[in-house]
Chains A and B, each alone.
Chain A
Amino acid sequence: DQQVKQNSPSLSVQEGRISILNCDYTNSMFDYFLWYKKYPAEGPTFLISISSIKDKNEDGRFTVFLNKSAKHLSLHIVPSQPGDSAVYFCAAPNFGNEKLTFGTGTRLTIIP
């Protein structure tokens, strides 16, 4: 049972425009959500997180929105830059333990 889902395996966006990456989840008990970014041949790196008590968190060009009623979160990147080309994973902790559940990832390509 995939508790965290990223239904778009890939996304291409023009440089300077907005990139929107989506993530759906099934477990309403998740305490928080995280986004990780991964370049080829490197490990994932933490990008931004949001607590379940908030509906928005912003860090520079990156904003994450949480819609709890729809069990949906999205990552907005504005403006998109070539260095943003990477695979993005959303993740959430299983309730009551230390295990993070990851989505399958979305490959973002920024077109110059």
Chain B
Amino acid sequence: NAGVTQTPKFRILKIGQSMTLQCTQDMNHNYMYWYRQDPGMGLKLIYYSVGAGITDKGEVPNGYNVSRSTTEDFPLRLELAAPSQTSVYFCASNQQYSYNSPLHFGNGTRLTVT
């Protein structure tokens, strides 16, 4: 059981470049999330989705886009990379909104923008 899989693990981008962070889960979870973690900070929610075709903004959505065409996949798109987007990105999923349904996280993508 793979759980939540994120690719790539590492990436270096130049300012202005674009890229897509991939996330897929095999648990048939309805809810999926993208978080970023900056040094010394907690995880900040970028975007989330409650099901295929439905997405919504989190706390820090500027500079990012998402789509959810299938239950399994939730890619995060950076269109014009900026140094402020240097961070570790985590994708997560859960079945429902409940304390009995905690988040399952991927192992993260470490992104550096120079």
User: Which residues from chain A sit less than 8 Å from chain B, CB to CB?
Assistant: 4, 6, 9, 31-34, 36, 41-46, 49-51, 89, 93, 98-105
Q: Residues of B contacting A93 with CB < 8 Å?
A: 97, 99
Q: Residues of A contacting B58 with CB < 8 Å?
A: 99
Q: Residues of A contacting B31 with CB < 8 Å?
A: 98
- A36 to nearest B CB, angstroms? 8
- A57 to nearest B CB, angstroms? 10
Quick one: closest A residue to B57, CB to CB? A99
Q: Residues of B contacting A42 with CB < 8 Å?
A: 107-108
- With an 8 Å Cβ cutoff, the count of chain B residues facing the other chain is 25
Q: Tell whether A104 pairs with B108 under 8 Å between CB atoms, given A31-B99, A93-B97, A98-B48.
A: no
- A42 to nearest B CB, angstroms? 5
Interface of chain B residues 31 through 49 with chain A (CB within 8 A): 31, 35, 40-45, 48
Q: CA–CA, A99 to B34, complex, Å?
A: 11
User: 9 closest Cβ contacts across the A-B interface?
Assistant: A43-B105, A32-B99, A102-B42, A46-B102, A102-B43, A104-B42, A49-B99, A98-B97, A43-B107
Contact check, A43 vs B99: say whether CB atoms are below 8 A apart: no
Contact check, A89 vs B43: say whether CB atoms are below 8 A apart: yes
Q: CA–CA, A45 to B54, complex, Å?
A: 26
Q: CA–CA, A105 to B38, complex, Å?
A: 12
Q: Tell whether A41 pairs with B103 under 8 Å between CB atoms, given A99-B58, A105-B42.
A: no
- A43 to nearest B CB, angstroms? 3
Q: CA–CA, A51 to B45, complex, Å?
A: 22
Q: CA–CA, A65 to B13, complex, Å?
A: 44
Quick one: closest B residue to A32, CB to CB? B99
Quick one: closest B residue to A6, CB to CB? B42
Interface residues as binary, B74-114 with A (CB distance below 8 Å gives 1, 0 otherwise): 00000000000000001010000101101111111000000
